[in-house]
């Protein structure tokens, strides 16, 4: 299973929202059996708490369910266990780079590098602001996360003709868009 981890400061607003958006897109694409998702925080401020109520309200208005998320802190095992670790801002990226064994640094990146619509490099923290901040966060997340999965798979809800899967890895590759690489999931086949 290919596993993606979203990371913010306290795992209370941005990263559980990203987890909810990503999970929804993965389910719509029919990839829930091969793509896993979770979220965590760089700090231990809110361990065991549900996502911020304002984040849950904003997400619910757009059809995302955050109710299964519980705040946790990034663990040493996450660097090994997750294939892609997408962070919300420079501070989170710096914190993870200091904790992460060098062999796994290639897994760490800012989520907004996948944004197609926004030029901002980071997802702003809405925690100390009003409800508009949570709406803005969802705008950023929907854009960046949509382009972190192959666009055609999201639109069509399944693998498409022309996608290929080879014996070493399962890869979804298109002439446009990002390719997901899913390790060790079976024999070669074409869609």
Q: Indicate whether 27 and 83 sit together in one domain.
A: yes
Q: Strands 180-183 and 2-8, how do they pair?
A: unpaired
CA–CA gap between residue 96 and residue 98 (Å, rounded)? 5
Q: What is the pLDDT of residue 24?
A: 94
pLDDT tens per residue across span 75-104: 999 999 999 999 999 999 999 999 999 999
- State the total domains in the chain: 2
Q: Indicate whether 32 and 81 sit together in one domain.
A: yes
Q: Is 184 left (phi over 0), alpha (psi -120 to 50) or beta?
A: left
Q: Indicate whether 105 and 186 sit together in one domain.
A: no
82 contacts 5 by C-beta, under 8 angstroms: yes
Q: Indicate whether 116 and 163 sit together in one domain.
A: no
Beta bridge partners of 190: 164
The two three-digit tokens of residue 43, written as one number: 């700090």
Stretch (H or E) spanning 147 = helix 131-148
Q: Indicate whether 121 and 181 sit together in one domain.
A: no
DSSP at 49: P
**Those residues with Cβ within 8 angstroms of residue 191's Cβ, 6 or more apart along the chain or in another chain:** 158, 159, 160, 161, 162, 163, 164, 165
Q: Indicate whether 85 and 62 sit together in one domain.
A: yes
- Residue linked to tokens 């949570």: 134
Residue numbers in the chain where pLDDT is lower than 50: 151-191
- CATH number of the domain to which 129 belongs: 3.40.50.2300
Q: For residue 27, what are the domain limits?
A: 2-149
């Amino acid at each position: 299973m290919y596993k993606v981890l979203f990371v913010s400061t306290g795992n209370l607003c941005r990263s559980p929202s990203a987890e909810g958006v990503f999970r929804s897109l993965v389910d719509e694409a029919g990839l829930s059996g091969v793509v896993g998702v979770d979220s965590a925080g760089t700090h231990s401020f809110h361990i065991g708490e549900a996502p911020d109520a304002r984040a849950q309200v904003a997400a619910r208005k757009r059809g995302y369910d955050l109710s299964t998320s519980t705040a946790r802190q990034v663990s040493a095992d996450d660097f090994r266990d997750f294939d892609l670790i997408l962070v919300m801002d420079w501070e989170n990226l710096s914190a993870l780079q200091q904790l992460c064994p060098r062999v796994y640094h290639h897994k760490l990146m800012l989520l907004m590098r996948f944004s197609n619509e926004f030029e901002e490099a980071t997802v702003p923290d809405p925690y100390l602001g009003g409800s508009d901040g949570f709406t803005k966060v969802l705008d950023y997340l929907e854009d960046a996360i949509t382009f972190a999965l192959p666009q055609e798979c999201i639109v069509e809800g399944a693998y498409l003709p022309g996608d290929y899967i080879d014996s070493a890895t399962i890869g979804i590759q298109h002439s446009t868009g990002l390719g997901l690489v899913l390790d060790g999931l079976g024999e070669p086949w074409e869609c």
